[in-house]
Amino acid sequence: MLETTVQPGTNIVTLDAHGGITAGEMLHMREVLDEVLRDHDTVRMVAIRGEIDFGDISPKALWLDLTSAGYVKKLERLAVVTDVDWEAKVSGWTSELLHIPTRRFRLDERAAAQAWISRP
């Protein structure tokens, strides 16, 4: 499941992913990002990643994810909330390669991630 929410009145988007992911959930994420970008030039994102069931991600959802790379250019700051170590490494690469301030938090540090993403 991929749940996409926006902190009202801000450019802070939270993506909470766990289990399988459908194309409809990916389309909803893109719609939310497009809406935020209509009102703001950038997006601050909190990506919460639980255990993903890669066998239960629809092929169309995977394609939509791969073709969403343009949104990365609009990231102002990224908080990655996960206990999965390989995902933490990927977030470090994102920071280095794309020069996006990125910080990793454990799942029990969600409040700290929200505080960090919200600060000026």
Pairing of strands 75-82, 102-105: parallel
pLDDT tens for the chain, residues 1 to 120: 999 999 999 999 999 999 999 999 999 999 999 999 999 999 999 999 888 787 888 999 988 888 888 898 899 999 999 998 877 777 777 777 888 999 999 999 999 999 999 999
Q: How far apart are CA 72 and CA 85, in angstroms?
A: 21
Tell whether pTM > 0.85. yes
Q: How far apart are CA 21 and CA 16, in angstroms?
A: 11
Q: For tokens 């409040």, what's the residue?
A: 111
